[in-house]
Amino acid sequence: MFGPGDVRFFDRLARLYGLGMPAADRGRLAAGLARANRPVERVVDLAGGTGRATTEIDAPERVVLDAAPGMLRRVGERDGDLAPVTGDARRLPLADASVDAVTLVDALHHLPNQRAVAEEVRRVLRPGGAFVVVDFDPTHPLGRLVVLAESLVGFDSIFTGPDDLARFLSRVGFAETTVVDRGFAYTVVGLKGDEG
Ligand SMILES: C[S@@+](CC[C@H](N)C(=O)[O-])C[C@H]1O[C@@H](n2cnc3c(N)ncnc32)[C@H](O)[C@@H]1O
């Protein structure tokens, strides 16, 4: 129903997600990134939209990657230090083993073919790099409301909750997976092993 070009829709959604939560997102992202098994210099915020969550990340190089150029045009207004990159999460325009961490905030269920996305993330991560996923938890009463509302406009989550996502990341080849945080939103981290 909605594609990556629906700038106004996603912008409103992102603003809604951001309502009173920037500090919470900052904490979740910091806790997730702290699990990386290497220094976190270069972070790619996947499906980062207008950079709402990217700006809460503490790292020297922060890339906002999104399929919608209209969303990315707003990134510079928000934070001049963020680097916007247009690209599809299923075919990342990034070299193998070129990134220390990939974040995906409130967007997992917006992406088609989550297996392809997870495999791509693993490809671009350096050994010990972290895939940090923050999303609404369908097992939490408030999270369930958001997930239900989103499913009504066509975004269905294929994961029943953070444990299911952690198992999925293990199956895709992440060496170590951890549920870092639960609640209205959860944080799940998958680490790329040293063997790639
Ligand atoms: C809910 S919004 C952005 C959320 C953003 N991470 C935040 O927290 O503000 C979901 C984003 O997914 C992007 N998107 C959808 N399909 C995509 C794809 N195949 N590759 C990359 N981005 C995609 C949309 O353009 C949109 O910006």
What residue spans define the domains of the chain? 7-191
Which residues contact residue 122 at a Cβ distance below 8 angstroms, ignoring those fewer than 6 apart?
131, 172, 173, 174, 190, 192
Which residue would you say has higher pLDDT here, 164 or 140? 164
Q: Cβ(126)–Cβ(97) under 8 Å? A: yes
Using pLDDT thresholds of 50, 70 and 90, give the confidence band for residue 10. Answer: low
What's the pLDDT at 1? 39
List C-alpha distances in Å: 19 to 53, 130, 157.
12, 27, 22
Per-residue pLDDT, averaged over 172-187, amounts to: 94
For residue 182, how far is its CA from the centre of ligand 1 (angstroms)?
22
Cβ–Cβ under 8 Å, residues 71 and 49: yes
Check if 64 has its Cβ closer than 6 Å to any atom of ligand 1: no
Nearest residue to 102 via CA among 9, 74, 94, 13: 94
Q: Kindly state the average pLDDT of the residues 86-108.
A: 96
Task: Please name the residue that has the structure tokens 């990034």.
Answer: 94
Q: Give the pairing of strands 185-191 and 125-136.
A: antiparallel
**What is the CATH T-level fold of the domain 7-191, as seen in this structure?**
Rossmann fold (3.40.50)
Q: Residue 10 CA: which ligand 1 atom is closest?
A: 2
Range 82-104 burial, b when 16+ CB lie within 10 A, else e: bbbbebbbeebebeeeebbbbbb
Question: Does the pLDDT at position 188 exceed 70?
Answer: yes
Would you state the structure tokens that stand for residue 72, as one six-digit string? 């990315």
Extract the tokens encoding 176.
């170590």
- Average pLDDT score over residue span 39-57: 95
Kindly report the pTM of this predicted structure: 0.92
For residues 104 and 184, which has the higher predicted lDDT (pLDDT)? Answer: 104
Ligand 1 pocket mutation pick from 21, 111, 117, 120 by most atoms within 8 angstroms of CB: 111
